[in-house]
Structure formats: C-alpha cells, structure tokens
Amino acid sequence: MRPSVRGKAEPFILFFSILFSCSLSLPSVLAQSSAASRPWTNTSLSPDERASMVIKEMTLDEKITLLHGTGMLGLSALSPEIVHSNGGAGYVVGIQRLGIPGIQMSDAAYGVRSSGENGRYSTALPSDLAGAASWDLDAAYEYGALIGRELRAQGYNMTLGGGVNLTREPRNGRTFEYLGEDPVLAGKTVGAVMKGLQAQHVIGDIKHYALNDQESGRNAVNVNIDKRAARESDLLAFEIGIEDSDVAAVMCSYNRVWGDYACENKYLLTDILKKDWNFKGFVLSDWGGTHSAAKASAAGLDHEEPGWVFYSDELKKDVESGTVPMAELDDHVHRILRAMFATGVIDDPPQRSVVDVFGDLEVAQKIAEQSIVLLKNDQSLLPLDAGKLHSIAVIGPHADVGMISGGGSAQVDPPGGNAIMPPGKGNTHWQEKIWFPTSPLKTIRAKVPAASVKFNSGSDPSAAAALARNSDVAIVFAYQWESEGMDLDTLSLPEHQDELIAKVAAANPHTIVVLETGTAVTMPWAARVGGIVEAWYAGSCGAEAVVNVLFGDVNPSAKLPMTFPKSDADLPHPTIVKPPKVTTDADHQGWRRIAAGLPAFQVTYDEGVKVGYKWYDAENKPVLFPFGYGLSYTTYSYSGLKIAPGKNPRVTFTVTNTGNRAGAEIAEVYAALPAAASEPPKRLVGWNKVKLNGGESKEVSVEVDPKFLSIFNVEQNGWQLLPGEYVFMVGGSSQSLPLKETVTLK
C-alpha cells in the first residue's frame, strides 16, 4: 500500500516541499466548548443523527480538514501543536473544539506494523492467506480482535488491513495479504476479521477496491474485464465482506478499471459500493491514489491519503465556486463522522496500554496450527514419533534462527529485529526479507531432546544430502519471499531450492518439506519426498506451530484457499503483463509521480469469472493440489446427502471420522448451475468445519445464500437465480466430492 518512512523519506520530502506552499486554515481548532453544547455525545442517538449534528457546527475549513491526511510523521508542514501523529501510516487532524478526535491509522494486515516507531510490541499472526486456510470464521474473528486490541494498546483507532483481492494472479506480490481465490471464502473470512476488529472500537477497512490483482505497474495499469465476470468474482468478495461486517471504510486501489482510476471511478465507488451495496462508511484513497478533486469527489472518494494534494485548497475552491456542491462535500464528511461514531472511536477512544504478549502469542500459535496444510504424507510418515527418532537433519536457509514473513506495508517488526542479523542490528526495511525469531531448529531440539538434531543451511546441496543420508529423517525448510511493490516472475522456488530438495530426497526417502510461502509454488520434486507441509508465513510462533503438527501434538485440519498449479504455463496468463519503463527522473518524483499519473497500459482478464479452480475445471487442466485440499492424521467419509429446496436451500449430510484420532474436517459444498447460466463447472457455495472424535459421526447442515447460486444480470443490474436443475456436490476438496444430488430450483 505504501512505503515506510524509513528509507523512503526523499520522495515524500520532494513531494510535500512542492505542495506545502498551500495554506491550511484551521480556525478555532484548539477552542473548547462545554459538553452541554454537544448533543452528539448522546449515545442513544444513531451514528447518522450524531454525524449530522456535528456537521451543522463545522466551518468549511474544518470539513476540509477531515477529508485528507497530514503526510507521515516528520514530513508534515503542520505545526507540532496541531499534529499529534502516533507514527503510523496516516493521521487525520481532529476537530478539538467539537470533541472529534484525530484518526490514527496503522498498517495492520497480519499484525500492527508501526510498532517500532512508537516503541511498542506487536504480535505477528500467520499471514492473511494462512488464516483463510483455516476455513474457520471463529478463528478469523479472533484474528481481527487481536489486531484491534493491539492497535488500541498502541494508540491507534483505525486499521489499514482487510485485503480481499482475489488470487486471480498467484504471482502477485501481495497474495499473502489476501484471502485466496474464491469470493465466498474470501468474503466471509474478511467479514469475520472486520467484525472482530471493529468490536474493539477500531475503524475497519477493506481493500484494495478493486481488481488490484497485480503489483507490476499498479499505478498505471488499466484493467479490462467483463462487468458480469467482475461482479461474480473480485467484486463479490468485497460485497460479501462489506455486507457481513458493516465495515466502516473501504480503500480504493491504485489501478485504473475500465479507463478510470479506481479512486475516481463512479461506477465502482458510487453506483456499486454506495448505491447497490448501500455502503454507509467512507472511501479513502490508497497512498497517492488520488488524482483529482472535483472528479474524484463526484465519483465518491471521501478522503485523500497521505497528504492534501487535491482535497484541500483545490477542493475548497471547487466548493466555493459551486463546482463541487456543498451537499456532496457534506456527504464525505458525514460518512467519516458516522464511521467514527458507529465504531466507538469517539465514545471509547484508545488508551495506550501494555499488549498482552503471552495471551496474544497463544492466539497466534493456535491460528497458525489451524492454518498449516498437510499436502502429502506417504506411508504415514507423519506424524513423527519422537520416541523412535535418533537423528534428524534440519535443512534450509536460516532454519536455525527463524522463519520468513511477507514484505511491504504488511510487514510486522519482529522483536529484536531481523533474526538473521546480529542482535540489535536487525534490518526492518519495508522491502527486505525479514525473518521472525521463531527457530525450527531450536524448537525441534526441544521436542526431541534425546535425539541428535543437526543443521545444514543447504547452501551446499551435496553437504545437505550427506547429512540427510545419515539421519533417520530430513526436514527441509524452503521459502519463497513476496512483497508489496513487486510480483514474482515464477511460482518456482528461488535460490536453487528445487535442486536442494531433490538431492536431499534422493539421499533419504524420509524427507519432509516445510514450505514457508505466501502463494502457491511448483514442486518438480513432489513425487520424491515423503511429506509436504504448507506453513505459509506463519507469524511469531510459526516454528512452535509447525513442530506441533510434524510431531502430532496437533492434527492438521487446514485446506488450501487457492489452487497449486503444476506449472506457470497452466495459469490463465503464463506471464504477467508489465508496464513500459519510465525515465529515471520521473521515477524519482515519488508520490508526486503517482498523483500525476502514468501512461496506462492494458491488462485484460479474458478468463473472466474463471478464477482459480474454476479456470482449471473449465479448461480441464490437471493441478498439483486442488483448491480446498488438505490431509489429516485421520480419515473422513461422507453419506446421506439431502437437499431441501427453498429460498435458502439447505444441504444436509453426515460426516464420519473413520479413524481413531480426533480431528476437524472442512466439509465443502459446491453447486453446478443450469447450462443456461454459462458458468464454470462448479462454484463453492458453503462449508462447515466439523470437529469429530475417532469413529464419531455428525449430521451437518449448510444453508446456501441464493446469491451464491445466482448469476449477475448486467442489464437488470441485479442477481438472478435461473430456473432449472442445480447439482449440489459435497466432499473434502474441490476435486473430491463423493456426494451429488440434482434438484430443480424455481
């Protein structure tokens, strides 16, 4: 979303030195009024009523103040007595005389990012994609609640997390920040996260609206896609998340869509978001994503970040001239004030406090354990039996000291700095590889103190293979790093890790590969290893969670929220379309260059609604591991499918744990629409995560939202359930659906 101040100050300084010649009038901002003269403090009134009361008392300059940020800490032209930034990514000056506090924003995708700049600790949860792999909405709620608590403890009252862009392009450098390839799974998950967060009286945010599906040229790319396909895929994820959570803010994206920048795209911001979805909150721009005043205002952009390029003097002049109606301006202000009242940031402002480190680490580890996907387990190699192992080889880059995390504005600063650096010297630059101090080697040694556990970095594959050959089992920790501001060229593992794994597996058939990735990876060695575990970016307690799964303290239950293809060539777009190069001079103008805009280049998503598994199904392409797939240390069977048609069809079936160990099965429900719909072969319409003891059976019911069975009719601008035959399918993954029944829906 935006670079850190550290190492990125120069573009900001150039940008704001040019623009801060504009005067910012804040009359009476420090004046006080008595509580008796503030009827909006009455909590029995609705947020809308309270916001309207405040607006009646505001001057034009005060209204403008709420519609933009102040830059970032240390780079603002405002006087210190006015700016009380907490050191986060964004700060909005409040209206003190009216009792309206400032808005303190922090990046918080999988933990509070800006902790280092205000001297506070933050817990890193597993990455958002990992959270989606749990398919657990209760866990998603806890995910958001933890972030909300830690934001408040650090003095923030707004998150800038909530990414829900679909994995249309798995090489997107921000895939780890998002929630997978299916709109129902992603939308329901982000909705639960935002509900948990806003319950802590913090303003929630869902982003990046919309179709920001690649980082390459994100400030210039123009996305072309059929409107029906957009509504049934990427936009549906936003629709579900907003509907489920009543989220207070939506962040518009950098890219263009259908020719207009997303942050001045009336069809996206007003026609769909505010009218069709009845969104009551406010729209803020991504950092530097505002490109105009009057056009953006009319389109529905309510707030500019990080500074005031357009939404200050220029917007004020447009209001005074009548170019921007006062009613339009008041709507922007109303939405921001309403969000503040609705989420409780005015009635219950954050108070700095000590983060519950141990409690939050426990939550982070529990979620990580539910997020780890067991992809392969030949001959029941896993779980490992600590009592029977005498020698273990731990192999892989930095597996002796830590586990990697995703980069960019989502990066959470690890305590003590980068684990691969000397103490106190850890670099936490926003776009460098950061390793959390959660050591697989140390954790394995603690788990099996009687065994010989030796480490090899893998820098010399032959030496690593020799160690593996002389060990009972070899565990290879492999990684693939992703970050905002870049895309992967390929889904292959970097730094010759495929060669390393192949050599280790050739030396020891009892080889287990633990993947630390933020997206899918190709695996030319998959057939030669005994076990594969996808750990994602596992957070502050990643090693503890992984080792508990490897040794059976935890029975894995997670399933893939995205397809793992066999090769890049199988993707809808074998290569990512990249922008033409810009000149060095233009590139060094930082945010000013973004605001000015770059020549558009085109990306056409001609696969349309066929995102992820829908693409592979429709094109009959075999995959490495399908969407919804994941193994357990027990087994499950399905029986007794019954469909009760109606407005909300009810799918009922029985799941049986056919093993002798307790576990949790994610039972997935898919539907095939009538042929007249011209849709991919099937779509996810619901699921239920069922906990079962060994030998236990439970009847499960899933109520299906009719929207999930519908197509979007562009001409009628609405969802349409076609009459005809619908095939409901139930099972353990998108390619393992033993139960099927056809029903006719009217």
Among candidates 70, 63, 159, which has minimal Cα distance to 106? 159
CA distances, 657 to each of 136, 163, 371, 697, 729 (Å): 19, 35, 20, 6, 19
Cα(493)–Cα(503) distance, integer angstroms: 15
Cα(140)–Cα(142) distance, integer angstroms: 5
DSSP annotation of 542? H
Main-chain phi, psi angles of 202, to 5 degrees: -130, 140
CA atoms within 13 A on the CB side of 627: 29
CA atoms within 13 A on the CB side of 621: 22
Among candidates 638, 306, 662, 372, which has minimal Cα distance to 515? 372
The answer to whether 200 and 171 have CB atoms below 8 angstroms apart is no
Residue with tokens 């799941």: 655
Cα(605)–Cα(611) distance, integer angstroms: 10
The answer to whether 214 and 165 have CB atoms below 8 angstroms apart is no
Cα(530)–Cα(545) distance, integer angstroms: 20
- Which runs of E-coded beta strand occur in 605-745? 623-625, 636-644, 650-657, 663-672, 683-692, 697-703, 711-713, 718-720, 724-731, 739-745
Residue with tokens 């690890």: 414
Task: Report the length, in residues, of the chain.
Answer: 746
Q: What is the dihedral of CA 209, 215, 216, 218, to 10 degrees?
A: 30
Among 286, 318, 360, 568, the active-site one is 286
- Tally of CB atoms within 10 A around 692: 20
Among candidates 523, 354, 542, which has minimal Cα distance to 434? 542
Give bridge partners of residue 690 from the DSSP assignment.
665
Residue with tokens 């102040």: 70
The answer to whether 556 and 372 have CB atoms below 8 angstroms apart is yes
DSSP annotation of 97? G
Among candidates 508, 400, 398, 385, which has minimal Cα distance to 447? 385
Burial degree of 486 (CB within 10 A; 0-12, 13-18, 19+): middle
Give bridge partners of residue 516 from the DSSP assignment.
479
Cα(671)–Cα(494) distance, integer angstroms: 38
The two structure tokens encoding residue 221: 């790319």
DSSP letters for 380-413: G--S--GGG-SEEEEESTTTTT-EE--BSTTPPP
Give bridge partners of residue 733 from the DSSP assignment.
736
Q: What is the dihedral of CA 325, 326, 327, 329, to 10 degrees?
A: 100
The answer to whether 542 and 535 have CB atoms below 8 angstroms apart is yes
Cα(134)–Cα(142) distance, integer angstroms: 12
- Tally of CB atoms within 10 A around 385: 10
286 a catalytic residue: yes
DSSP annotation of 675? G
CA 543 from chain center: how many Å? 22
CA 2 from chain center: how many Å? 15
Q: What is the CA radius of gyration of the chain?
A: 26
Cα(141)–Cα(196) distance, integer angstroms: 4
The answer to whether 68 and 304 have CB atoms below 8 angstroms apart is yes
The two structure tokens encoding residue 667: 């039972």
Residues annotated catalytic, as ranges = 286
